[in-house]
Amino acid sequence: MSLYKQEFGQNFDLGFDLKDHPYLIDKSWHNDQCPSFYLKVGEQYYVLWVDYADIEQREEETPRYVIVEAINEGSNEEPEIYASDGAITFECENYAGLKLFLDSLLSKNQSH
């Protein structure tokens, strides 16, 4: 079972299939407001927060999908990824926008 489902329930809907994004590493923790995943592009880490589809269930007035820059306080073998200063890199309400941003981010990395 996925970590986010263990922490936030079997029925938590990400709005997409995690299998379509194998580069997203689940780092969800029950003390957080919603599931989170990290990814590394080049040397930069990012954290993707996926909030509830139902705005009424959200603790903050934030869009459903938020990506912030992050840092690795662990090692490459055992990463410990934390949102650094919380600088928001991207935010949107729908998966179509998120997918476009992720595709763009990853394609920039492949062109270097």
- Could you tell me the pLDDT band of residue 85, with boundaries at 50, 70 and 90? confident
What is the secondary structure of the chain as a DSSP string?
--HHHHHH-TT---SS-GGG-TTPEE---TTSSS-EEEEEETTEEEEEEE--SSGGG-SSS--SEEEEEEEESS-SSS--EEEEEEEEEEEESSHHHHHHHHHHHHHHHHT-
Cα separation, 80 vs 93, in Å, equals 27
- Say what the pLDDT of residue 84 is: 72
pLDDT band at 1 (very low <50, low <70, confident <90, very high): confident
* Amino acid letter, residue 101: F
**Domain map (residue ranges) of the chain:** 3-110
Residue with tokens 């407001």: 33
The pLDDT of residue 76 is: 87
Mean pLDDT of 36-46: 94
Predicted structure pTM score: 0.93
The percent of residues in the chain predicted with pLDDT above 70, rounded, is: 97
pLDDT-derived band at 58 (thresholds 50, 70, 90) equals very high
